[in-house]
């Protein structure tokens, strides 16, 4: 608490007063307090990201960086079939995954919020615990499940459902999608749950009172009001999954390669940082646009529900 006394503050007659001293003290204290953290984030997040953007406009000649401005990297990123395909596939997978997780998680969030009772926090906790465990381990477990000699195949065989293992469980986009849905489902629940909790229960009661059945009152009142949470959930899943590295590497095989693999390669063996940077920026930009479009679309849909 910094208390300063401003003896120089003018009296009422001279119109607008000087900035009151308490404000100066508070502002300074607040800035001072947040500066270590903000500076840390600035130098270890802000600056690196800006560097990536800068690099995307340069060229790499073996070990040297040519800093003349060029769009060449972006041309490659957007037009080369291999990268274009990777981008589109990554986008497609992340879109599918985010919509599926939202659809699958919404009923759960609804159930906990409206019928959870005293056990709300416990249920929420149970659902989010898997989220916090090692991502790597979770993907590994799906590799074990979907493999040719994996849990699913051998289990089905020993039950007599199939006679031969199904090869197409693993090493393709579907495997990537399923694994991602599993990893991110619980993340989608939280924003939806939060926005459902904010809905005044008496609104639903009013709808029932005015003649709507449970289904209609849900569609007309709860769903539109929970849209912000749904949009949040979509963003929370879509943006990180488009750049996922571990899942395609472990369960994607050749058919499930995603853009992150290509990005990583530019920083490893292929040693083309500018291209890697351009790929990164492109991915970010495109997923932001797509996510934004989804958000707007959903908000329009919500508004049209009467």
Partner 1 sequence: MSLLKPSRWRVLPFYMVLYLGFLYLPILLLPVFSFNNAAATRFPLAGFTTKWYASLWGNREMLDAAFNSLVVGICVAVLSTGLAICAARAVTRYRFRGRRAANGLIMAPLFLPEIIVAVSLLMIVLQVGAELSLLTVILGQVVFCLPYSMAVLTAGFDGFDRSLEEASLDLGETAFGTFRRVTLPVVAPAILSSLLVSFTISLDEFLLAFFLSGTEPTLPVYIWGQLRFAAKLPGVLALGSLMLALSICLLVAAEFLRRRTERQLSTGAASHV
Partner 2 sequence: MSDMPMIAISGVNKFYGIYKALSEVSLDIAAGEFFSLLGPSGCGKTTLLRSIAGFETPSSGDIRIDGQSMLGVAPNRRPTNMVFQSYAIFPHLNVEENVSYGLKRLKLGTTEERRRVGDALDQVRLGHLGKRRGHELSGGQRQRVALARALVLRPKVLLLDEPLSALDKKLREEMQSELRALQKAVGITFVLVTHDQYEALALSDRIAVMFGGRIAQVATPKELYQHPLTRLTADFLGGMNFLSGKVVESAGAILSVETDRFGRLGIAAAASGGRPGDRITLGIRPERLRLLWDGERADHELQGRVTNRAYFGETTHLSVRVDGLEQPLSMIETNTYGADDLPIGEPIRLAYDPDAFVALADDETEDRIRKLD
- Interface of this chain with partner 2, residues 18 to 47, rule: CB under 8 A: 20-23
Q: Is 7 in the site for partner 2 (CB under 8 A)?
A: yes
- Residue with structure tokens 């490893």? 268
CB within 8 A of 244, min separation 6: which ones?
180, 258, 260
Using the minimum distance from each CB to partner 2, give the nearer residue, 23 or 198: 23
User: Residue 248 binds which one of partner 2, partner 1, none, with CB within 5 to 8 A depending on kind?
Assistant: none
User: Residue 6 binds which one of partner 2, partner 1, none, with CB within 5 to 8 A depending on kind?
Assistant: partner 2
Rg (CA), the chain: 26
Using the minimum distance from each CB to partner 2, give the nearer residue, 6 or 255: 6
Q: Which stretch binds partner 2 (CB under 8 A): 9-17, 118-126, 237-245, 252-260?
A: 9-17
**Distance of closest approach, residue 122 Cβ to partner 2, in angstroms:** 21
Q: State which of residues 87, 93, 188, 263 lies at the interface with partner 1 (CB under 8 A).
A: 263
Spell out where the chain has E strands. 59-61, 64-66
Instruction: Judge whether 85 and 92 are in contact, CB under 8 Å.
Output: no
Q: List b or e across 220-249, with b for residues whose CB sees 16 or more CB atoms inside 10 angstroms.
A: ebbbbbbbbbbbbbbbbbbbbbbbbebbbb
**Distance of closest approach, residue 233 Cβ to partner 2, in angstroms:** 35
Angstrom distance (rounded) from CA 99 to CA 84: 22
Using the minimum distance from each CB to partner 2, give the nearer residue, 27 or 205: 27
């Amino acid at each position: 608490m910094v208390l300063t006394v401003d003896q120089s503050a003018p009296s009422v007659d001279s119109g607008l007063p000087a900035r009151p001293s308490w404000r100066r003290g508070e502002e300074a204290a607040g800035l001072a307090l947040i500066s270590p953290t903000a500076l840390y984030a600035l130098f270890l997040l802000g600056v690196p990201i800006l560097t990536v953007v800068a690099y995307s406009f340069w060229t790499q000649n073996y070990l040297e960086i040519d800093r003349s401005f060029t769009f060449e990297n972006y041309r490659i990123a957007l037009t080369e079939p291999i990268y274009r395909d990777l981008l589109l596939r990554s986008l497609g997978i992340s879109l599918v995954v985010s919509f599926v997780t939202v659809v699958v998680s919404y009923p759960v969030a609804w159930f906990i919020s409206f019928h959870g009772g005293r056990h709300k926090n416990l249920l929420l906790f149970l659902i989010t615990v898997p989220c916090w465990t090692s991502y790597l381990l979770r993907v590994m477990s799906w590799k074990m499940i979907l493999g040719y000699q994996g849990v699913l195949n051998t289990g089905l065989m020993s039950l007599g459902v199939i006679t031969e293992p199904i090869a197409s469980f693993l090493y393709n986009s579907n495997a990537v999608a399923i694994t991602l849905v599993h990893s991110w489902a619980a993340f989608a629940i939280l924003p939806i749950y939060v926005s459902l909790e904010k809905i005044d229960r008496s609104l639903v009661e009013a709808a029932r009172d005015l003649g709507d059945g449970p289904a209609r009152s849900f569609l007309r009142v709860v769903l539109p009001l929970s849209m912000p949470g749904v949009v949040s959930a979509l963003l929370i899943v879509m943006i990180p999954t488009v750049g996922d590295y571990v899942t395609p590497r472990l369960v994607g095989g050749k058919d499930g390669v995603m853009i992150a693999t290509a990005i990583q390669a530019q920083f490893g063996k292929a040693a083309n940082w500018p291209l890697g940077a351009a790929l990164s920026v492109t991915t970010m930009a495109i997923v932001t646009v797509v996510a934004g479009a989804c958000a707007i679309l959903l908000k329009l849909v919500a508004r049209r529900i009467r």
